[in-house]
Amino acid sequence: MKMKTVKALVLSGYGINCEEETAAAWKLAGAEPEIVHVNSLLAGHTSLHNFDVLTFPGGFSFGDDLGSGKVLAHLFKHRKTVQGTTLLAETETFLKNKKLVIGICNGFQVLMQTGLLPGTKRGTLTFNQSGKFEDRWVRLTVSETSKTPFLAGIRTLDLPVRHGEGRIVLEDTNHWNQVLENGQAALFYSDAQKTPTTTYPENPNGSPFGCAALASECGHIFGLMPHPEAALTLWNHPEWSTKMRTNSNTPHHGDGLKIFQNAVEYIQANKEPQK
């Protein structure tokens, strides 16, 4: 049986700089990626609705001059397309068709600033408690209550972080409790014992509860600060040679690839046949 084609839109433009790696991740996962400039969507040259998954890649959209993700989010909320709608409205329609959205690092910040992540409209991503840009690998564990298909079957991950504004802030304790109870806090920075932690340096930004990612209640929207597209092969990992010497049967794929493969498998299983 022929597998259904999965089409992944990867945004580019205005300082986004991880689009090539992210497109490579989708391709390795079995999807057909297309890198699309934001202006192409605004001008109507490309339709979001021709795709199955929308990707907000990492980078420094608009130089992060007014705060990470804020300007691109403003463009999505207020700039009109040639059809007279906003890109935010188009994305909301896209989601109503049970499609997927992922935001990585700066892309996660855009999801927060637009309010696309339901239940987090009273939240933001702000400066790391360390007061500096963090560029290194971290250990992560997946929440046992996570509902997002992006993390299906994954328990732990090693991924790199590259951010200066990655600390998740929500309005109050009640809001955090709601997010935790709903399984929206999907991924946690963890220590060597695979326990979520708020302690630096294991937690690079000071996010409460060690939270590294948030998802919508149904799981179709997924935002994370670490970069899975930078961990596609074993050789991306800083300890790859030690892993190989310790176990010659160590898989050659990186931990990040599974996130993209999960999305492709989910879409293939749930995609409506074309008429």
Catalytic amino acids? 105, 227, 229
DSSP letter for each residue of 3-49: PPP-EEEEEE-TTB--HHHHHHHHHHTT-EEEEEEHHHHHTTSS-GG
Sign of CA dihedral 18, 218, 264, 160: positive
Q: Report whether 9 contacts 53 (CB < 8 A).
A: yes
**Helix %, strand %, coil % for the chain, to 5?**
35, 25, 40
Name the strands in the sheet holding 185-189, side by side, starting at the edge strand that comes first in the sequence.
32-37, 7-12, 53-56, 100-104, 221-224, 211-215, 185-189, 134-142, 156-163
Angstrom distance (rounded) from CA 156 to CA 134: 21
CA distances from 41 to 59, 87, 222 (A): 19, 8, 21
Q: At what angle do helices 87-96 and 70-78 cross, to 10 degrees?
A: 80
Q: Report whether 91 contacts 76 (CB < 8 A).
A: yes
128's CB contacts (< 8 A; 6+ apart) are 134, 163, 164, 165, 166, 167, 204, 205, 206
